[in-house]
Amino acid sequence: MTADLTNPSPNFNTRSGPPDMVVLHYTGMRTGEEALARMCDPTSQVSAHYMIGEDGRVFRLVDEERRAWHAGKSSWKGQTDLNSASIGIEIVNPGHEFGYRDFSDAQIDAVIGVLDGVRTRWEIPDHRILGHSDIAPSRKQDPGERFPWARLAEHGHGLWVQPDLPPDGVMGPPLGPGDEGLGVFSLQGGLGKLGYGILPGGPYDEETALIVTAFQRHWLPDQIGSELQGKADARLRVTLMALLRQIALLEV
90 annotated active-site: yes
Closest residue by Cα to residue 42 from 61, 27, 58: 61
- Confirm if 211 and 196 have CB atoms less than 8 A apart: yes
Given the residues 33, 90, 97, 180, the one annotated as active site = 90
Dist CA 235 CA 87 (whole Å): 31
Name the residues annotated as catalytic: 90
